Chains A and B, each alone.
Chain A
Amino acid sequence: EAEVAQSPRYKITEKSQAVAFWCDPISGHATLYWYRQILGQGPELLVQFQDESVVDDSQLPKDRFSAERLKGVDSTLKIQPAELGDSAMYLCASSFSGSLFTDTQYFGPGTRLTVL
């Protein structure tokens, strides 16, 4: 069964350093989502791509976070500089067309970030 791949699975960094996470969605899925899940809370959508275009990045802290999906396939989420409050699980998900009416979001295992 096809899965959403994420790497690394764990990342420890010091504050003010740069970090990057990678996501490879299920083949053929046009929509890609990045979520942040703080311990004890539900996931919060950071950015949504439709192919290579950003559909929603209203909750992305743009002063330090950036996301790209250059060829409309895999995606990278970057944080620079990292802050203590960025410690969280970063989840990637994909779906065929982005319509939750007809599609299902498939989630990757996540990247757990610890900022020291």
Chain B
Amino acid sequence: AQSVTQLDSHVSVSEGTPVLLRCNYSSSYSPSLFWYVQHPNKGLQLLLKYTSAATLVKGINGFEAEFKKSETSFHLTKPSAHMSDAAEYFCVVSDGGYSSASKIIFGSGTRLSIRP
């Protein structure tokens, strides 16, 4: 069985300061891990994904995440927050592989607010 836990339901940072959104996962197999962003009234958009290659993954808009197997974590970071980063962020785990029947589990989401 697999699961994903987003440790913070809401994170608030000042513009220009670092962002850290935390995600822990559980998986019986080598997982694939993803971060998605959801802006109000817009569809979910893939930020980045880990699929067993490099453990430090770079995504769009300056975001990156590091896969740490020993800590079962996949935290999302950004060095400097921008007002446009305000959105809901979802960590996602899949039981991996090339199969089209991979199970997909979304976390409950973290709302990121940016203070001017």
Contacts and interface: CB of A to CB of B under 8 A. Distances in A.
Interface of A: 3-4, 30-31, 33, 35, 40-45, 48, 50, 55-56, 91, 93, 97-102, 104-110
B99 interface: yes
B100 interface: yes
B111 to A, nearest CB: 9
Given A42-B90, A109-B41, A110-B43, A102 B106 contact: no
Given A91-B44, A107-B45, A109-B43, A42 B101 contact: no
Nearest to B45: A107
Given A42-B106, A98-B99, 20 more contacts: A30-B100, A40-B108, A42-B107, A42-B109, A43-B44, A50-B101, A55-B101, A91-B43, A91-B44, A93-B44, A100-B32, A100-B34, A100-B94, A100-B102, A101-B96, A101-B98, A102-B98, A104-B46, A104-B49, A106-B43
A44 B105 CA distance: 7
B42 A43 contact: no
B43 A55 contact: no
Contacts of A105: 44, 46
B37 to A, nearest CB: 11
Contacts, number: 70
Contacts of A99: 97-100, 102
18 contacts: A3-B43, A31-B100, A44-B106, A45-B104, A48-B101, A55-B101, A56-B101, A56-B103, A91-B43, A98-B102, A99-B98, A99-B99, A99-B100, A100-B104, A101-B97, A102-B98, A104-B46, A106-B43
B4 to A, nearest CB: 8
Contacts of B96: 100-101
B109 A41 contact: yes
B49 A107 contact: no
Q: In the complex, which of the residues B44, B96, B97 has the most CB atoms of chain A within 10 Å of its own CB atom?
A: B44
Interface in B12-33: 32
Contact of A50 (B98, B100, B103, B104): B100
